[in-house]
């Protein structure tokens, strides 16, 4: 298998969003019957949507997709994460069953949900084939003492992320809500952000899944040791992802780059997507213009990454559960911005489709109900 990827091509493939569409959107805001800047950050969001769509009036968002990249990390064996790798399979199943918070909220906001298993530490037979079709391995190496992936696995994961972005762009998805699932992922994110920002372990290590002081110190030690292993490969982004990342991190990075190349806007979630965005920025400096930060989770690694990316979170909810929940909570803001700036006829059409009566099962008769008592 070819173990190389020409990362330099992304610099030319990723273009800037359409500035003329942005200016047209800003002029459209000024013509609306409202005080100047009266809609606050919704106006910036609407203008950004115009630029990434390359159109003004903006097209209403009616094909949002939550994409969750799942993978477990060997560093979780140190006890740095309250949910263990064994829990990841249960969390994936809850998403597929529609009972997880992200699935419940996605139904409310009219978004579909997709899970991509890259390295869940479970038997792939536990999940449907469409979930595991891009799987690279089971779990990953313990990054404080060994590489997360081999070079071949890193390339496979990176290319899997590219493939998922292509699949979503080709299917007509108009905005991606990005999320992750897995044990030990905030530790990995802290290492990547710390390495790329040149900070020490304590400055990027957070509480993740709600760990106590003792576990936080263990986590800091793991991040410190992994940072030592990361520094020699800082100049090679794929080597960095293979050394101290994981299959899900490599896939998300490839996904973010290809989504930007395909002009597909993405809403980032927590520390994991922020860390991958930071790696992707090193590969294609224009790529962050295609992303928005959904919320602030309270993780120091996320805050450090967003500061470097010059992305301001849309909300400060401190949702730390992962699974794309924090980013998904920002989707109504984007929908509101697009609807307000769209052609009124387009907005009415979307509303009619959304509110179309759905076929309901017949209600039981009184006799049937009494018969069940």
d(Cα 148, Cα 139) in Å, to the nearest integer? 9
How many angstroms separate the Cα of 83 from the Cα of each of 55, 198, 215, 231, 240? 44, 29, 13, 29, 25
Helix (H) or strand (E) holding 176: strand 175-181
The reply to whether 323 belongs to the active site is yes
Catalytic residue among 168, 289, 299, 323: 323
Tokens of residue 136, six digits: 């690279």
Strands 266-268 and 175-181: parallel
Sheet holding 175-181, edge to edge: 112-119, 64-71, 175-181, 266-268, 291-293
d(Cα 318, Cα 130) in Å, to the nearest integer? 32
d(Cα 259, Cα 346) in Å, to the nearest integer? 25
d(Cα 282, Cα 338) in Å, to the nearest integer? 30
d(Cα 136, Cα 158) in Å, to the nearest integer? 10
How many angstroms separate the Cα of 71 from the Cα of each of 59, 145, 190, 247, 318? 34, 19, 16, 7, 22
Q: Is 251:118 a contact under the CB 8 Å cutoff?
A: yes
Tokens of residue 96, six digits: 């597929």
Place of tokens 């699935």: 103
Place of tokens 């979630």: 269
Angle at 157 between CA 152 and CA 163, to 5 degrees: 125
The SS3 assignment for 115 reads strand
Residues assigned a catalytic role: 323
């Amino acid at each position: 298998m070819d173990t190389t990827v020409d990362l330099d091509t992304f610099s030319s493939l990723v273009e800037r969003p359409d500035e003329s569409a942005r200016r047209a959107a800003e002029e459209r805001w000024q013509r609306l019957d409202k005080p100047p800047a009266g809609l606050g950050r919704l106006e910036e969001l609407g203008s950004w949507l115009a630029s990434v769509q390359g159109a003004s009036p903006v097209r209403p968002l009616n094909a949002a997709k939550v994409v969750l990249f799942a993978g477990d990390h060997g560093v979780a064996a140190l006890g740095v994460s309250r949910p263990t790798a064994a829990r990841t399979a249960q969390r994936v199943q809850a998403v597929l069953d529609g009972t997880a918070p992200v699935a419940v909220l996605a139904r409310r906001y009219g978004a579909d949900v997709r899970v991509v298993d890259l390295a869940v530490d479970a038997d792939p037979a536990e999940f449907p084939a469409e979930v595991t079709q891009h799987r690279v391995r089971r779990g990953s190496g313990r990054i404080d003492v060994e590489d997360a992936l081999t070079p071949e696995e890193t390339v496979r994961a990176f290319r899997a992320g590219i493939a998922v972005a292509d699949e979503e762009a080709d299917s007509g998805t108009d905005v991606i809500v990005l999320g992750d699932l897995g044990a030990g992922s905030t530790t990995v994110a802290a290492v990547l952000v710390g390495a790329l920002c040149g900070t020490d372990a304590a400055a990027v290590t957070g509480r993740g899944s709600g760990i106590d002081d003792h576990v936080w110190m263990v986590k800091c030690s793991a991040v410190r040791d992994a940072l030592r292993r990361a520094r020699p490969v800082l100049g090679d982004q794929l080597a960095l992802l293979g050394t101290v990342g994981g299959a899900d991190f490599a896939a998300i990075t490839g996904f973010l780059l290809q989504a930007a190349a395909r002009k597909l806007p993405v809403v980032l979630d927590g520390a994991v997507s922020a860390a991958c965005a930071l790696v992707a920025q090193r590969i294609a400096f224009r790529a962050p213009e295609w992303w928005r930060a959904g919320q602030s989770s309270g993780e120091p690694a996320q805050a450090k990454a967003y500061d470097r990316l010059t992305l301001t979170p849309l909300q400060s909810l401190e949702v730390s559960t992962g699974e794309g929940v924090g980013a998904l909570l920002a989707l109504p803001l984007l929908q509101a911005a697009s609807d307000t700036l769209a052609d009124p006829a387009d907005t009415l059409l979307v509303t009619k489709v959304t509110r179309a009566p759905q076929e309901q099962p017949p209600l039981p008769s009184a006799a049937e109900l009494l018969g069940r008592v």
